Amino acid sequence: MEDLIDKLENQQKLSRNEWIRLIQGRNPQISNYLFQKARKIRKQHYGNDVYIRGLIEFTNYCRNDCYYCGLRRSNQNVKHYRLSKETILSCCETGYQLGFRTFVLQGGEDRYFTDDIMADIVSSIRIRYPDCAITLSIGECSHERYRRLFEAGANRFLLRHETYNSSHYAKLHPPELSAAHRQKCLWDLKEIGYQVGTGFMVGSPYQTPENLADDMIFLKKLNPQMVGIGPFIPHHDTPFKDENAGTLELTLFMLGLIRLMMPKVLLPATTALGTIAPDGREQGILAGANVVMPNLSPGDVRNNYLIYDNKINTGVESAEGRKALEKRMDAIGYRIVTARGDSLN
């Protein structure tokens, strides 16, 4: 197995069979070997810096019905909210004061936010914070809408492909959603000029090592600026309520593999990772990640953006929260930086 990791380090790719063999054959010793290399490579490009992104979860309405997500439209128990433009701008202001230079607007696919309304929000942030990156994570849209929002001032877009394989995709989503359309959106975003982030859930129901191999091959081909992965975690009001969660162990292993395959990519240690283990995000950083995305949403709505159960709720909207995060990273030898943190990839 070490030979496959050496090969991945040297060639930044593996064949489908090699990916499968490596993922299936992993063990704690191989993982340590991988993480050492992943840390070395991330240090070469990004030093000990950890970039921060301020996450603003601006709506929990969603027209989609993904089987894994707590915000799916069939879930009657969601306490719905939408943030006004003024509230979003005040989240940005708080974040800016705390050193955030990237704002991530994430939400369900909420028709209330028409092209006009969304473009107005983006351009208002753009005018007030010319030195900041604006990231959108609002799901699948038309090429036209993506272009309009790019022109309004958005720079980056996060849209996980979730799983590359279309039959696996069909087991996680209702028939009106398809892997092919999700992937088309990603190519559209790239073509328009966004810095793109994609990714997948680790340990989602029915996922096989073959599926993960295909995800790695797709990542290599798309060559995004950022890759977000996190463990699947069941939500009690979804069809997957009784499914097992993805493991910390496999998620960390996949993070290490992604760092070796794409040395300069931005790789977040996600909230889901921090949810399945108290030091999950720290372990993610030690497996090669270099980004954290703390929550800037107002405290009263944060409890309602529940895509999975037990989602950690450590806001950094206060100076104390921000300090606590700094301490956690400091304790493992890394430092939070306030740069925009554009991808070197």
Q: Which residues make up the interface to ligand SAH (CB under 6 A)?
A: 68-69, 106, 108-109, 137, 139, 159-160, 162, 201, 230, 232-233, 235, 272, 307-308
Minimum CB separation from ligand SAH for residue 94, in Å?
A: 22
- Nearest to ligand SAH of 96, 157 (CB atom): 157
Minimum CB separation from ligand SAH for residue 38, in Å?
A: 22
- Nearest to ligand SAH of 153, 197 (CB atom): 197
Cα(289)–Cα(305) distance, integer angstroms: 24
Minimum CB separation from ligand SAH for residue 137, in Å?
A: 5
Minimum CB separation from ligand SAH for residue 240, in Å?
A: 7
Minimum CB separation from ligand SAH for residue 44, in Å?
A: 29
Q: At what angle do helices 2-11 and 248-261 cross, to 10 degrees?
A: 40
* Nearest one of 134, 54, 155 to 100, comparing CA atoms: 54
The CA–CA distances, whole Å, from 281 to 105, 228, 312 equal 21, 13, 11
- Nearest to ligand SAH of 41, 185 (CB atom): 185
- Nearest to ligand SAH of 197, 263 (CB atom): 197
Minimum CB separation from ligand SAH for residue 154, in Å?
A: 14
Read off φ and ψ for residue 130, nearest 5 degrees: -60, -20
- Nearest to ligand SAH of 109, 115 (CB atom): 109
Tokens 């496999």 label which residue?
Answer: 250
Quick one: CA torsion of 189, 210, 231, 325, rounded to 10 degrees? -60
Write out the H or E segment, with its range, that includes residue 248: helix 248-261
Cα(208)–Cα(225) distance, integer angstroms: 26
* Nearest one of 139, 61, 92 to 298, comparing CA atoms: 92
Read off φ and ψ for residue 197, nearest 5 degrees: -120, 135
- Nearest to ligand SAH of 4, 292 (CB atom): 292
Minimum CB separation from ligand SAH for residue 280, in Å?
A: 12
- Nearest to ligand SAH of 21, 160 (CB atom): 160
The CA–CA distances, whole Å, from 278 to 52, 282, 283 equal 19, 9, 10
Tokens 């060559």 label which residue?
Answer: 223
Minimum CB separation from ligand SAH for residue 48, in Å?
A: 28
- Nearest to ligand SAH of 263, 280 (CB atom): 280
Burial 252-282 (b: 16+ CB within 10 A, else e): bbbbbbbbbbbbbbbbbbbbbbbbbbeebbb
Cα(127)–Cα(48) distance, integer angstroms: 32
Q: Are strands 291-292 and 226-231 parallel, antiparallel or unpaired?
A: unpaired
Both structure tokens of 106: 């994430």
- Nearest to ligand SAH of 160, 264 (CB atom): 160
Minimum CB separation from ligand SAH for residue 186, in Å?
A: 11
Tokens 């070997």 label which residue?
Answer: 33
